[in-house]
Structure 1
Amino acid sequence: MWPFVGRVRELEDVMSALTEPDGKGAALVGAAGVGKTRLTDEVVTRLEQTGVTVRRCYATVATSSIPFGALAAMLPADMRTANPLGRAVEHLLAEPQPLTIVVDDAHLLDDASIGLLHHMIRHGHARVLVTSRPSERSELWQEGLLTRYPLGDLSRAESDLLLERALDGPVDTRTASLLWSGSTGNPLYLRELVVSGRAVGSLRTAEGIWSWHGAIELGGRLGELVQENLGRLEPSHRHALELLAYSEPVELDLLASLVQEESLDDLETRALILVESSGRRTVVRLGHPLYGSLLRGTCPELRAQSHQRALAAGLEATGARRREDLMRIATWRLDGGSPISLDLLAAAAEQAWAAQDVTLAERLCRAAVDAGGLSRVGHVFGQVLMHGRAPDQAESTLADVMSGPLSAEDLSRLGATRSMNLHFGLGDADAAVAVLDAVDVPGLPADLRDWLTVVRTLEEAQYRPAAEVLEDTYRPVAPHLSVHMRRTRALCLVHAGRFREGLEEIAGYEAEELASSDEPQEPDDGALRMRCFALAFSGRLAEAESLALTMYNRSFDELAFTGATSLYSVLSFCARLRGHGAQALRFAREGSPKTPDNPLIFDTIALANLAASAALCGDGDLAQEALARGEKARRPAWQLTGVTVSVARSWVLACTGDVRAAADAAMAAADESAELGVHSSEAWALHDAARFGVDTSLRLAALTSTMGDPLTEAYAAHATALAHAAPTALEAVATDFLRLGATLYAAEALASAARLHRAQDNARAASQASARQALLMRDFDGVRTPALRVDGLTHLTRRQAEVARLATSGLTNQQIAEKLHTSKRTVDNHLHAIYGVLGVTGRDELRTVLGPS
């Protein structure tokens, strides 16, 4: 049986309907596969545990025409009487009481069975629970006999939780997104995807993390379920659905021009298609993503090509006015075997790259290259190859193209791409500058000259001091290029620790981009990622996590874009500050490059996060391996990014137990960061050094005057309290960290406070600080830091901590006992022990010491 996830409210409601004095029963109503039976299983288990007699039966198509057919198993074999209903009631009344009758698929019940259930409910002889499809045989609840509880699909969070519990381990992002897109929260589909994936080896585990390999294949039971939901299709219906399978989401007008209008009406009525608004458009989607997989898999090749040619022709006939239209036409023409011009391929490739659809951009570029148009798409192809971890191939390709007879304008465009590949892909700053110098010749159009200036400034932002490059970002450039310069400016501000200004700059250029377009624009992913870093490093952890998770939960295809790996770094950083070691390590593993070859600029950040997260969890081997890879991946061209590796080095040393070496490494990282003007990393490293025993209070205090964010201020206060050995100040610092969500730092501050209180012979204060620390650490997961390894702390037991937390939330002892499924006397004894450990006399003092729950 699969784990029971979600449905907490529904479970409680149904139990109330079946157990409270005025309850008659419940009807769980929902589409196939939403988990009606699994919820019913949980209800039945609970009822039987309370001593209720449960009789369960299953209605089927075969029994739907037989009187009492569904209930036959619980009725006498001989029903040949003048009053079969009365005989059935008499038999059921002989059952041990109280009695609950449970019927699965009640929409298939025969009339006699419905009549019997009516009688039992109306006369109070039994409680009844049924499951049913919607809009079918609803007499039992429409007449008020049963309370109707609609059951929908699981949420994304519930689906992910169910997946991890079913597999008994974490699942990587791409896999969770793939299975979510395939099941859309339908537990039955999710289960069959997992079963079939494991059976054929598509779903397997490596290093403790489950991942899916290849595409979803709709075979076996899963294919049967999808086909069953599609049902029998008329030719016109299949034609419409197949067109949609190759185009969704597609404009209603385009689809309507290719199919019969009544077919669309019928399909919408049957919920096989969904019609919805998208901006100023009305678009159509299939009723479930797996319908598309089945329809494409069963569509003959020639018919599939015909569909795609028709879609391309239909869209071209409308004028192809939207930004993504060229990509769609080019894709349909390629797949439909239609002729396609080089102009269309080149324009579509640019659109695909702008939309960060790396897979499509590469396909279109290769098609253009095959058609002899390498010079037309070289500037896109080079970037595609770089992000595809083939910077060597990109350099070779671009060098070959630039050696041919090209205009100065074409050379400058290709040179800019080649320079970025040399810089960000190969880490060769000198070669990158040389290429820019070579193509920056007199007579270039002003916008091309400005573009070369933008590229030069962007590259310099990775190896020159942040303050110097920041000044360069104010150089005037063409209006349509100012957004790129403002992005670099925002990056410099974030590096410099001027987070508020950085966030304002990001908001400013986002507004500029929106104002410059006539069409609705999706938020710029680069801006969103930079905003995540600024929020996280300034102490706005909840906002950073929320934004990063929103991006993290997008379709897995979008996560293929290399820059998206930085999201994992943000999530890993936030998890570490919260003391969630296993989660931090999971995010760091997912975001790190899987092969040591061809590291890119983002890989240094990812590997540094992996090293730090592994060290925090005590996995010294993994931490040292990740650090070694991070060191190897560093390039002189990426100095500002590379400081993250230096910061991580101190934690890898601490993991081995050499705290003195860790402190020296943290100070070296702080000095390196200061020299480059990366004050965000400097503050982080200085705080680490303070945690390792170095007095960095003066340097951190100086940084707060220029940075001014709450996390750096808390860093400085923590370092000052440690330097002055002030336990009361440390307790105040813990409160500040807790307010920001940095629970790990709060627990460390309390651990230090408890040690100092004990050294000063203040046992009561030490116990109180230690108890607060224990409460904070109840949700920690495998974290190990020098401050938390101090021996001799007096902690509450896990159960005592739980009782104390509930007591401070305002619950009575009896309510606590009910919540913990124990006796009130046991709770009384726990609280008496807690008061003794903490040296308090009652709940008011307990709340003062521990704070509200």
Structure 2
Amino acid sequence: MKRWPFAGRRHELADLVRLARDPTAQGVIIAGPAGVGKSRLAGEVLTHFHAAKVTLLRVRATKAASAIPNGALADLIPRQHPPHLVNTLRWAADELLAHARGRVLVLSVDDAHLLDSHSAEVIASLVRGGQARLVATLRTGEPAPDPVTLLWRDGHVRRYDTDPLSDDDVTAVLTAALGGPPDDATVRRLGEVTEGNALFLYEVVGAAIASGALSEIHGMWKLTGDPPLAPRLVDLIHERIGALSPELKDVLEYTALAEPIGARMLSALTSERALLEAEERGLIRVRVDRRREIARLGHPLYGEVARERCPELRRRRRHADLVAALESTGLHRREDPLRVTVWRLAGGLGAAPGPLLDASRLAWSAHDYPLAIRLGEAALDAGGGTTAAIQLATLLDYAQQPDRARAVLDATRRPDDEPSMARLVLARASNLAWGMDRLGDALDLLAATEKDLTGTARRRQVAVQRLGLTASAARTGDALRLSADLLAGELGPAQRAQVLNSRALALCYAGRTTEAAALVREALDESAAWRDEIPALVSPLHSTWSMCGYFSGDLAVMDQAIASMRAALAGQRGWSRGEGSLALARGNAATLRGQLGAALLILHAPANHETALTVGGCMAAYAAAQALRGESAAARDTLQAATDRNRATWTAFMRWVALTRVWIAAAGGENARAVELALAAAADCRESGLAAFEAVALHDAVRLGAPSSVVRRLAELAEVHEGPRVKLAARHAAALAEGDADGLLAVAAGFDALGLRLHAAEAAAQAAARLRRSRGEKAARAAATEAWSMAGACQGPDTPALRGLAAPDLTDRELQVAQLTAAGLSHRQIALELGIAMRTAMNHRNQAYWKLGVNSPAELAKALNRFR
């Protein structure tokens, strides 16, 4: 790949430029680990010096030259000093100064830790004497010459420790390098693999593009599968690791195969000396957790290389060693049975069905679907019978592989005992409903089975599953009645959690969001009692919690739910409903905030997943974001793909589809049609008792400029629906219907306070249109500026209310003056900064005030800062 353009790290670069030009010091030393991007940052800093006022000398220190006096300066000074010269340091410094020719000397030193002592002292003497400014890079963890170290310790230069690339930086870098944005999942995966190391990122991305693992899909770059290990990357890893003794190689390989691994166990497998040396060299990291010392690899890519280079027979022997070491401890920790079973399989030692099933459940509890399925298949192959088949089919269903689950179930004969038969029916019903889109058949199977069962507990479990399907089908009345009956009886922990989940979902759809969220938190607080039996329940619980915030307009609730879901699904592997639920919650939160570009990045991966079959919700949300950006054709195609692909069209999914169709019509310029669709969706939801969806559909009609027919119903919903969103929607409808511009501005301020920036911008734009007719241009301009500034924070919205909104017609100079005024500068300071007369600065400020319809620096700052 060609050299990447510089991108990201805006705040770091600004800090470094300030430090490099700080008059109280003579420059900056940028410190950080190898490959973090120090040299690139230093290069960007140097571009901010005025080329006509400085002389730049570049010094590149190397290992080869580090033992040669003045080796780093060889290209800048004569090959030999004059004969009989005593002070060669002063001579070398004067030779460097001669290059300046009356201008400021700037020394750029790359890898200052490799400077030979003579060069280091020459450079340090010029910096200490104020004769040169320094911009240098330094690798942390490496010894540096004393003159260099003393420069920052004595305050002659500033030291700046740079961090690895953040996810935002990775996004910016890849967008600039690839010519298009990467989706959110790709950024997170590349960030995990490279740990933000810029050099590793460059190599990994180049190899992934060459292999086809990273490609552009519908305008965004998406990583499919694990990035390959290209030879260049392997060479870089080996260079970083250095030559390894056999003992160090043992430490690296055992850690790569078993991490996280107890340090004492690793020491027993290798030696204490090798363990300490491996930590000192950065091959491993050791974290102390209470009394336990836990070892992990120094970098994820070390493990990739170690595992790839480990021959198969040695790998099997190492796994057998790990089994023996762990079994000798007595398997005291919760995860030990899982780990030892996995190692037994990898070591060719085999395992019985019972331990394999136990390990499979533990892997499921950790949301590691590929591992759980592999262990479930091994249990079935080892003779696990009906129990193994049911567990494997359940895992496959939750892992978005319903066709494979169906094949397993079809191959399982009907058991003779009632408990096993009941479990098999529950698995079949789940597969029919969620995997085959056959809700009616699933409910019929449950009803018929419930009649035949003799055990009360088993009938109750069938009723619990029937309730879950009823709630997911958005039959709120039935779900509330069934859940009340079940809660009045005796329930086990897992059954109780399932009932609470279903009741919370029904309450959320009915607009009783506070009560619903409370039930979700109650179930999650009790998760220790049911997590191992049904770990996948954490996903729908959190989804409901997030929707409570969505429908109520409380973004803090959504953020809490998302943060909790992230923690609950930490370490999730293999596509599952949980991964889709998290993406959908994050995408909906971004859309509600008006962050439409962010929503597309978040939802792109699930909307374009290769194999998952129940991603319709994510695809519909993706289509909604596209439609709100005016991309009607693309949104229509996405939504059609969502309905074609989704295998649970019987759920509330179709309500989301109906809401999305409203904005697709609006994006295509069919405003009247969009209003019709919104009113039809609202009527359908009202008939079904779905107050939450109804309120959103009615407010959509208001946002489209048709409030008259919905004012009364929204007012009624505002009395019973919890949360501020519906109450503001009712006020919005009333103000728009009455032509009350002040009321619309108050509504805009209310939505803005909630963080619903797009709704706020639309209300302000509607106010501007009415003010232009009633109070004149100045009042209209103020409202239009409010709408413009809020819409500017929404990442490309194109809705009917905003379509006629024009940006304020500020000249470049007026914008400069406005920005400086907003920053708090006086007329005199602005004039000095821009090199203009003070009266000219005042005139430009007054013009900006007039065009923006504002009257003070505070109002100006609010408009401009929000837009940025």
* TM-score of the pair, normalised by structure 1: 0.92
CA distance in structure 1 between the partners assigned to 2:761 and 2:411 by the alignment = 58
Does the 8 A contact of 1:605 with 1:642 survive in 2? no
Match for residue 107 of structure 1? Answer: 113
CA distance in structure 1 between the partners assigned to 2:822 and 2:810 by the alignment = 16
Match for residue 437 of structure 1? Answer: 447
SS of equivalent residue, structure 2 residue 47: helix
After TM superposition, give the deviation of residue 661 of structure 1 in Å: 1.4
CA distance in structure 2 between the partners assigned to 1:835 and 1:397 by the alignment = 71
Match for residue 738 of structure 1? Answer: 752
SS of equivalent residue, structure 1 residue 46: coil
CA distance in structure 1 between the partners assigned to 2:396 and 2:866 by the alignment = 54
Which one of 366, 375, 380 corresponds to residue 386 of structure 2? 375
Per-residue CA deviation, residues 45-103 of structure 1 (Å, 9 max, x unaligned), is: 11244622111111111111111110111112332432332321222232322112221
CA distance in structure 1 between the partners assigned to 2:854 and 2:33 by the alignment = 55
Match for residue 625 of structure 2? Answer: 613
SS of equivalent residue, structure 1 residue 469: helix
Which one of 27, 36, 41 corresponds to residue 38 of structure 2? 36
CA distance in structure 1 between the partners assigned to 2:135 and 2:539 by the alignment = 49
SS of equivalent residue, structure 1 residue 246: helix
Segments of 5+ residues of structure 2 without an aligned counterpart are none
1:765 aligned onto 2:744: no
Match for residue 808 of structure 2? Answer: 795
SS of equivalent residue, structure 1 residue 121: helix
Task: State how 1:369-518 maps to structure 2 within 5 Å.
Answer: 369-401=380-412, 403-440=413-450, 445-463=455-473, 465-474=475-484, 475=486, 476-480=489-493, 481-514=495-528
After TM superposition, give the deviation of residue 298 of structure 1 in Å: 0.7
Does the 8 A contact of 1:536 with 1:544 survive in 2? yes
1:366 aligned onto 2:377: yes
Amino acid at match of 1:211: K
Amino acid at match of 2:48: R
CA distance in structure 1 between the partners assigned to 2:570 and 2:227 by the alignment = 15
Percent identity between the two aligned chains: 33
Task: State how 1:821-840 maps to structure 2 within 5 Å.
Answer: 828-838=842-852
After TM superposition, give the deviation of residue 796 of structure 1 in Å: 4.2
Which piece of structure 1 moves more, 64-73 or 440-449? 440-449
Does the 8 A contact of 1:552 with 1:559 survive in 2? no
After TM superposition, give the deviation of residue 394 of structure 1 in Å: 2.4
After TM superposition, give the deviation of residue 756 of structure 1 in Å: 0.9
Q: In structure 2, do the counterparts of structure 1 residues 320 and 179 end up closer, same or farther at CA, with 3 Å as the change threshold?
A: same
Match for residue 192 of structure 2? Answer: 181
CA distance in structure 1 between the partners assigned to 2:162 and 2:865 by the alignment = 39
After TM superposition, give the deviation of residue 136 of structure 1 in Å: 0.7
Does the 8 A contact of 1:607 with 1:645 survive in 2? no
Match for residue 555 of structure 2? Answer: 541
Match for residue 133 of structure 2? Answer: 127
After TM superposition, give the deviation of residue 488 of structure 1 in Å: 1.4
Does the 8 A contact of 1:490 with 1:506 survive in 2? yes
Task: State how 1:588-667 maps to structure 2 within 5 Å.
Answer: 588-592=603-607, 594=609, 599-600=613-614, 603-632=615-644, 638-667=650-679
SS of equivalent residue, structure 2 residue 71: coil
Q: In structure 2, do the counterparts of structure 1 residues 661 and 138 end up closer, same or farther at CA, with 3 Å as the change threshold?
A: same
CA distance in structure 2 between the partners assigned to 1:552 and 1:165 by the alignment = 29
Does the 8 A contact of 1:604 with 1:642 survive in 2? no
Amino acid at match of 1:704: A
Which one of 249, 252, 273 corresponds to residue 260 of structure 2? 249
CA distance in structure 2 between the partners assigned to 1:62 and 1:794 by the alignment = 59
Does the 8 A contact of 2:501 with 2:523 survive in 1? yes
Which one of 227, 238, 251 corresponds to residue 249 of structure 2? 238
CA distance in structure 2 between the partners assigned to 1:803 and 1:358 by the alignment = 57
Does the 8 A contact of 1:751 with 1:769 survive in 2? yes
* TM-score of the pair, normalised by structure 2: 0.90
SS of equivalent residue, structure 1 residue 74: coil
SS of equivalent residue, structure 1 residue 33: coil
After TM superposition, give the deviation of residue 371 of structure 1 in Å: 2.6
SS of equivalent residue, structure 1 residue 70: helix
Match for residue 728 of structure 2? Answer: 714
Which one of 554, 571, 576 corresponds to residue 561 of structure 1? 576
CA distance in structure 1 between the partners assigned to 2:190 and 2:417 by the alignment = 49
Match for residue 68 of structure 1? Answer: 70
CA distance in structure 2 between the partners assigned to 1:798 and 1:273 by the alignment = 57
Does the 8 A contact of 1:592 with 1:606 survive in 2? yes
CA distance in structure 2 between the partners assigned to 1:337 and 1:54 by the alignment = 63
1:774 aligned onto 2:788: yes
After TM superposition, give the deviation of residue 117 of structure 1 in Å: 2.0
CA distance in structure 1 between the partners assigned to 2:408 and 2:530 by the alignment = 34
CA distance in structure 1 between the partners assigned to 2:128 and 2:415 by the alignment = 91
After TM superposition, give the deviation of residue 461 of structure 1 in Å: 0.8
Q: In structure 2, do the counterparts of structure 1 residues 765 and 146 end up closer, same or farther at CA, with 3 Å as the change threshold?
A: closer
Per-residue CA deviation, residues 680-722 of structure 1 (Å, 9 max, x unaligned), is: 2111111001222142122112112222201111111111111
Which piece of structure 1 moves more, 805-814 or 119-128? 805-814
After TM superposition, give the deviation of residue 38 of structure 1 in Å: 1.0
Match for residue 143 of structure 2? Answer: 136
Q: In structure 2, do the counterparts of structure 1 residues 201 and 433 end up closer, same or farther at CA, with 3 Å as the change threshold?
A: closer
Q: In structure 2, do the counterparts of structure 1 residues 817 and 46 end up closer, same or farther at CA, with 3 Å as the change threshold?
A: farther
Task: State how 1:799-810 maps to structure 2 within 5 Å.
Answer: 804=818, 807-808=821-822, 810=824
Per-residue CA deviation, residues 411-430 of structure 1 (Å, 9 max, x unaligned), is: 11121111111112222222
1:753 aligned onto 2:767: yes
Match for residue 55 of structure 2? Answer: 53
Match for residue 737 of structure 2? Answer: 723
Q: In structure 2, do the counterparts of structure 1 residues 586 and 533 end up closer, same or farther at CA, with 3 Å as the change threshold?
A: same
Per-residue CA deviation, residues 409-467 of structure 1 (Å, 9 max, x unaligned), is: 11111211111111122222222123323443667555433322221111111235213
Task: State how 1:69-108 maps to structure 2 within 5 Å.
Answer: 69-81=71-83, 82-83=85-86, 84-96=88-100, 97-108=103-114
Q: In structure 2, do the counterparts of structure 1 residues 44 and 87 end up closer, same or farther at CA, with 3 Å as the change threshold?
A: same
CA distance in structure 2 between the partners assigned to 1:10 and 1:631 by the alignment = 45
After TM superposition, give the deviation of residue 786 of structure 1 in Å: 1.2
Amino acid at match of 1:532: S
After TM superposition, give the deviation of residue 633 of structure 1 in Å: 5.5
Task: State how 1:833-848 maps to structure 2 within 5 Å.
Answer: 833-838=847-852, 843=857
After TM superposition, give the deviation of residue 274 of structure 1 in Å: 1.0
Match for residue 264 of structure 1? Answer: 275
Does the 8 A contact of 1:541 with 1:574 survive in 2? yes
After TM superposition, give the deviation of residue 138 of structure 1 in Å: 4.2
Which piece of structure 1 moves more, 619-628 or 813-822? 813-822
After TM superposition, give the deviation of residue 843 of structure 1 in Å: 4.1
Does the 8 A contact of 2:182 with 2:601 survive in 1? no
Per-residue CA deviation, residues 123-170 of structure 1 (Å, 9 max, x unaligned), is: 322223322223412412235244332233233333333233332322
After TM superposition, give the deviation of residue 551 of structure 1 in Å: 5.7
Does the 8 A contact of 2:8 with 2:168 survive in 1? no
Which piece of structure 1 moves more, 296-305 or 333-342? 333-342
Match for residue 19 of structure 1? Answer: 21
Per-residue CA deviation, residues 500-528 of structure 1 (Å, 9 max, x unaligned), is: 22221121111122477899x99934433
Segments of 5+ residues of structure 1 without an aligned counterpart are none
Amino acid at match of 1:698: R
Per-residue CA deviation, residues 170-210 of structure 1 (Å, 9 max, x unaligned), is: 21233222211111111111122122222333322122111
Which piece of structure 1 moves more, 770-779 or 833-842? 833-842
Match for residue 173 of structure 2? Answer: 162
CA distance in structure 2 between the partners assigned to 1:598 and 1:522 by the alignment = 16
Q: In structure 2, do the counterparts of structure 1 residues 485 and 320 end up closer, same or farther at CA, with 3 Å as the change threshold?
A: farther
1:293 aligned onto 2:330: no
SS of equivalent residue, structure 2 residue 269: coil
Does the 8 A contact of 1:349 with 1:377 survive in 2? no
